[in-house]
Amino acid sequence: MNFAFLFDNFFQLTITGLALGAIYGLVALGYTMVYGVLQLINFAHSEVFMFGTFAVVWVVVFIHGTTSANQSLGSSLGLLALALIAAMLTSAAIAMLLERVAYRPMIRRGASKLMILIAAIGASFSLAEIMGLRDRIAGWFGLEDKLANYVSQARNVYSSPVTIEPHGVFTFVNYKVTDIDLLVIGAALLMMFALDTFVRRTRLGRGIRAVAQDPESAALMGVNSTRIIQATFLIGGLMAGVAATLYMVRIGSTRQNAGFILGVKAFTAAVMGGIGNLRGALLGGLVLGVAQNWGAALFGANWQDVVAFVLLILILLVRPTGILGESIAKARV
């Protein structure tokens, strides 16, 4: 155990951990919203995120072309804004498609939660494979060559040609906090705040809480539960789109299975914070990201997941419902 290293580089490890955790948190919001309303773990949410990351690269390739370039964050804002819109739309569309194709027919026929869970896992595989076979899908329409920059080598790493160079903004103890760190953490907090306000203050938000609390009574009171469920998936998808854009700013590469590990982490974050709880999702993400970095510093990077999951178990031993514990239904008005 390397305590000296951890303490010497404490702030660097913490801030990069927070930036990583913020992305987990944003993806976790999607898991937690759907769980809060449907008590369903939407395993395919990781693929909703993955489609968002691809949308970001597609936009960059479409506008910028494929020549490799390094840009500062400031000079890429316009490009990133377009990428963000595309990622949010793509992720939201995939999330709603999932709801419509995979979940709604099953819920309508009264399928058990377990059956829907299996469907979620199946949908997750299908979406990842569709992305991994996109060259052949384009081939069916004869567009393989035309779209080569977008679909060729479908299973390989797909990287954004524009690398966003981080720039130090201010020095905190011995770490130069970068503009990308601030953007990622700030954006996650902002989205979290906006979503929390939305659920607590708006009419649709009240509907979401009503369906989460008691779908039958909500239906009797005139709440259209199908629409509410749709809205839940839509919001989860939009958040995943934001997460995908921030992820691509930090990491810059994706592939058809990029959602898997991140999805597991985000789901862990949701459980850690208290699944069904919006603030808990972000908190869980941040705690997980930091714990992972500290664990990697202490024991080596191959132990970071062990540390994260041991922490999860410890938290659940003390607080079985997660750190914040309450569900979306009980969010105070």
Q: Which residues in this chain contact other proteins in the complex, by CB under 8 A?
A: 2, 5, 8-9, 12-13, 16-17, 19-20, 68-70, 97, 100-102, 122-123, 125-127, 129-130, 132-133, 135, 144, 152-153, 155-157, 159, 161, 163, 165-166, 250-253, 255, 257-258, 260-262, 292-293, 296-297, 300-302, 304-305
Amino acid letter, 238: L
Q: Yes or no: say if 29 and 293 are a contact pair by the CB < 8 Å rule.
A: no
C-beta of 290: minimal distance to other proteins in Å? 11
The amino acid that residue 138 corresponds to is: A
Q: Choose between 254 and 327: whose C-beta lies nearer to other proteins.
A: 254
Q: For residue 278, how far is the Cα from the chain centroid?
A: 13
Of the candidates 237, 210, 223, the residue with the CA atom closest to the CA atom of residue 34: 237
CB 254 within 8 A of CB 59: no
Give whichever of 112 and 302 is closer to other proteins, judged by the CB atom: 302
- End-to-end CA, the chain: 46
Strand partners, 172: 175
Which C-beta is closer to other proteins: that of 169 or that of 221?
169
- Helices of type H across the chain: 3-8, 10-38, 45-64, 77-98, 104-108, 113-132, 134-140, 148-151, 179-201, 203-213, 215-220, 225-250, 258-273, 278-299, 304-318
Q: How far is the CB of 328 from other proteins (least distance, A)?
A: 28
Query: Least CB distance from residue 284 to other proteins, whole Å?
Result: 17
Q: Which is nearer to other proteins, 159 or 225 (CB)?
A: 159
How many CB atoms are located within 10 Å of the residue 281 CB? Answer: 37
Identity of the residue, 232 or 304, whose beta carbon is nearer to other proteins in the bound complex: 304
Report in angstroms how near the CB of residue 73 gets to other proteins at its nearest: 12
Cα–Cα–Cα angle for 55, 59, 60, rounded to 5 degrees: 115
Q: Which residues pair with 72 in a beta bridge?
A: 165
Does residue 77 contact residue 71 with C-beta atoms inside 8 Å?
no
Per the structure block, which two tokens stand in for 126? 């299908």
CA Rg, the chain, in Å? 20
**Residue 69 or 77 having the CB closest to other proteins:** 69
Smallest gap from Cβ 101 to other proteins, in A, equals 6
16 vs 268, which CB is nearer to other proteins?
A: 16
State the minimum distance, in angstroms, from the CB of residue 98 to other proteins: 10
**Cβ distance to other proteins smaller for residue 2 or 197:** 2
Shortest separation between residue 55's beta carbon and other proteins, angstroms:
17
Instruction: Measure the CA–CA gap between 208 and 77, rounded to whole angstroms.
Output: 34
To other proteins, the closest distance from the beta carbon of 186 in angstroms equals: 18
Q: Which residue has 């989860």 as its token pair? A: 236
